[in-house]
Amino acid sequence: MQKGQIRVNTENIFPIIKKFLYSEHDIFLRELISNATDATQKVKTLSSIGEAKGELGELRIDVVLDAKEKTLTFSDRGVGMTKEEVDKYLNQVAFSGAEEFLEKYKDASIIGHFGLGFYSAFMVAEKVEVITQSHNLDAPTVYWSCDGSPEFELYEVEKKDRGTKIILHINEESKEFLDAYKVKSVLDKFCKFLPIPIYFTDVAEEKKADDVEKSINNTNPIWVRKPSDLTKEDYENFYKELYPYNETPLFWIHLNVDYPFNLTGILYFPKIKQSHEIQKDKIQLYSNQVFVTDEVKEIVPEFLMLLQGVIDSPDIPLNVSRSYLQGDPNVRKINAHITKKVADKLEEIFRNERTEFEAKWESLGLFVKYGMMTDDKFLEKANKFLVMEDTAGKFHTIEEYKMATETLQKNKDGKQVIIYTTNPVQQDAYIQAAVAKGYCVVKMETLVDAAFINNMEMKWENTTFVRVDADIVDNLIDKQEGTDSVLSKDETENLKKLFEFPVSDLHVTIEVKGLSETAAPVVATRPEFMRRMKDMGAVGGGMTAFYAQMPDEVTLTVNGNHRIYQSLLKESDTEAQGKQIRNLADLALLSQGLLKGAELTNFINRSVELMEGGK
């Protein structure tokens, strides 16, 4: 029997491993299963070139929980180790057997790092035992054990079958890993798609005679298969496997790149209609089918964080850190490639299946607009397939909209004016007035539209956006003098004074203009600039936050040509006159959703009084 000390740079390595090697202690399961997978892949490679003798047999990994004995055991029928290899790989912390094997055999499917990964077992175990038989059947079976100190035992034992068995004696602080549900859930998280079948056994669970043994993982997920071999049902079923409670996705993109970096995966475009659904289910990052993380911000462009699915790249190590991702050139290439693939797919669907594309725009629009704001390369491509739906339900690309509105919607500076609504129901009166003048009003009612409008005004040449209720309809494109008022100068002044009363929480500007006789007696509009600043302040905070606290600005445009004022100006009862004037103003404010609280209550009470003939 050999005894000795594990060769490390410091005797404090074990406390460091136990506390700081990984932020999540359950990662030890991933590491040990990865090592077992690694060993199995190695023996397959060696067998294929004649260096591993004998029958391969059933290649599988077993995880056995014995809560009574406080052990968790991992067994594989992989390549195994000789006594010299055990000494080399287990007694020299952080030495990776996979790296040496890769160098010799160039087998990209070797994923584990037998070194620090193996020592993650000491995060949860007070003692670790290893029994291993090399694929070289002439070599003896070897036993190794360590109790978490730098000391180990290593000796030969009775011959066993090829492979390795690792027995963890779970420590008191890690009793949660003696719970079958906990172990199965962690295995499902990290090992769901590993290429070698994994079987879990709970010794305490009573087995029935008709129980069929079933692996816990899908060894052949569709992202490792050829797209030409897959059907629509395959993609949809895999999505259900990832996200069982979600609706069928809009469509998907199958990634398959082997140069200048390795990347496979499937990205799904989910149906998103409500803001609270965003980020509910994230993209999962794998390295050779081993789960790494679902925090993929540095790998996937920010606007595509709304997507779902799987990305698998052996170029990204298992023990990945954010700082590593930020500086890695492969990650930047992957990021750019994903952006291009998504843009190409969207353009393809738009070009070949425009009707279907428009039908899905409610969900797609969020991705596209967010991408156009944050990624200039995506913006270039997206300008071709961004669509805007008008209030009649027709969709326009930006070029189609400009062509349709070329004559009527260019201002005196030559800029194309895109008239939009954020609430077609509430702003219906303004929409009808704009449409009557031949204008095309598009819907901008998603949670990103306020920022999108501001952003596109900076990126699109000679284009400006105006909300349909930003001014009276005659002034939406250019400020105009308007129709002459039938009121005299004195009557205009008197009428303006009648409307000059305070309104709680509003900054009101009064103007009297000669609009058409059929226009409303009072039109409430909200100046575009200040309304946008308030909207941005309410959503984004930061430097614009103080705008959100300012009172709403509103302009009340009194239509001097409306016949109601002919009688109101002659009304001798000033109290009745005041009530009717106030009601006309309140009706206009109500159309903008600006009449609230006590002001709304007063309006209702006053309306009842006037209907009853009260003064």
Question: How far, in Å, are 283, 307, 308, 321, 528 from residue 295 at the CA level?
Answer: 8, 13, 12, 10, 39
pLDDT at 97 over 50: no
pLDDT category, 526, cuts 50, 70, 90? confident
Region 65-72: mean pLDDT is 96
**Are residues 525 and 414 part of one domain?**
no
pLDDT of residue 553: 85
**Are residues 396 and 314 part of one domain?**
no
Nearest Cα neighbor of 377 from 348, 413, 338, 349 is 338
Q: Write phi, then psi, for 396 (nearest 5 degrees).
A: -130, 135
pLDDT at 122 over 90: no
* In a domain? residue 260: yes
| 431 in Cβ contact with 473 (< 8 Å) | no
**Are residues 468 and 433 part of one domain?**
yes
**Are residues 567 and 515 part of one domain?**
yes
Classify strands 308-312 and 283-287 as parallel, antiparallel or unpaired: parallel
pLDDT category, 246, cuts 50, 70, 90? confident
pLDDT tens figures, 303-328: 888 889 999 988 776 555 545 555 56
pLDDT tens figures, 547-581: 656 777 888 999 888 999 888 888 888 888 989 99
* In a domain? residue 375: no
> What's the token pair of residue 202?
């709970």
**Are residues 344 and 398 part of one domain?**
no
pTM of this prediction exceeds 0.75: no
C-alpha torsion sign, points 603, 606, 611, 615: negative
pLDDT of residue 98: 41
What percent of the chain is predicted at pLDDT more than 90? 44
* In a domain? residue 209: no
- Where residue 227 sits, what CATH number does that domain have? 3.30.230.80
Burial 506-530 (b: 16+ CB within 10 A, else e): bebebebbbbeeebbbbbbbbebee
**Are residues 169 and 73 part of one domain?**
yes
What percent of the chain is predicted at pLDDT more than 70? 85
pLDDT of residue 4: 60
CB count in 10 Å sphere of residue 174:
19
Query: Which of 349-358, 396-405, 457-466, 479-488 is predicted with the least confidence, judged by mean pLDDT?
Result: 479-488
* In a domain? residue 208: no
| 372 in Cβ contact with 382 (< 8 Å) | yes
pLDDT category, 543, cuts 50, 70, 90? low
* In a domain? residue 615: yes
* In a domain? residue 286: yes
Query: CA-to-CA distance for 33 and 104, rounded, in angstroms?
Result: 23
- Of 431, 455, 480, the residue at which a domain comes to its end is 480
- Where residue 501 sits, what CATH number does that domain have? 1.20.120.790
Contacts of 96 (CB under 8 A, 6+ apart): 113, 114, 115
pLDDT at 544 over 60: no
Query: CA-to-CA distance for 237 and 182, rounded, in angstroms?
Result: 26
Query: CA-to-CA distance for 137 and 161, rounded, in angstroms?
Result: 9
Region 465-478: mean pLDDT is 87
3-state secondary structure of 226: coil
- Where residue 454 sits, what CATH number does that domain have? 3.40.50.11260
pLDDT category, 53, cuts 50, 70, 90? confident
Domain count, the chain: 4
pLDDT category, 107, cuts 50, 70, 90? very low
**Are residues 591 and 510 part of one domain?**
yes
**Are residues 21 and 143 part of one domain?**
yes
pLDDT of residue 91: 77
Query: Which of 302-306, 397-401, 480-484, 540-544 is predicted with the least confidence, judged by mean pLDDT?
Result: 540-544
3-state secondary structure of 70: coil
Query: Which of 123-127, 287-291, 323-327 is predicted with the least confidence, judged by mean pLDDT?
Result: 323-327
Between residues 436 and 592, which one has the greater pLDDT? 436
pLDDT of residue 591: 84
Query: CA-to-CA distance for 363 and 251, rounded, in angstroms?
Result: 11
**Are residues 337 and 283 part of one domain?**
yes
**Are residues 148 and 12 part of one domain?**
yes
pLDDT of residue 105: 42
- Of 480, 506, 527, the residue at which a domain comes to its end is 480
pLDDT of residue 101: 41
pLDDT of residue 570: 87
- Of 480, 514, 533, the residue at which a domain comes to its end is 480
pLDDT at 271 over 90: no
| 265 in Cβ contact with 311 (< 8 Å) | yes
**Are residues 187 and 47 part of one domain?**
yes
- Where residue 121 sits, what CATH number does that domain have? 3.30.565.10
3-state secondary structure of 156: strand
pLDDT category, 216, cuts 50, 70, 90? very high
* In a domain? residue 38: yes
Start-end of H helices in 448-527: 449-459, 489-498
Between residues 56 and 275, which one has the greater pLDDT? 56
* In a domain? residue 376: no
Query: Which of 373-377, 478-482, 544-548 is predicted with the least confidence, judged by mean pLDDT?
Result: 544-548
| Domain range for 340 | 222-359
Query: Which of 24-33, 234-243, 368-377 is predicted with the least confidence, judged by mean pLDDT?
Result: 24-33
pLDDT at 2 over 90: no
Contacts of 405 (CB under 8 A, 6+ apart): 416, 417, 418, 439, 440
**Are residues 167 and 291 part of one domain?**
no
pLDDT of residue 319: 56
Edge-to-edge strand list for the sheet holding 463-467 = 441-443, 416-421, 463-467
pLDDT of residue 123: 86
Region 464-490: mean pLDDT is 81
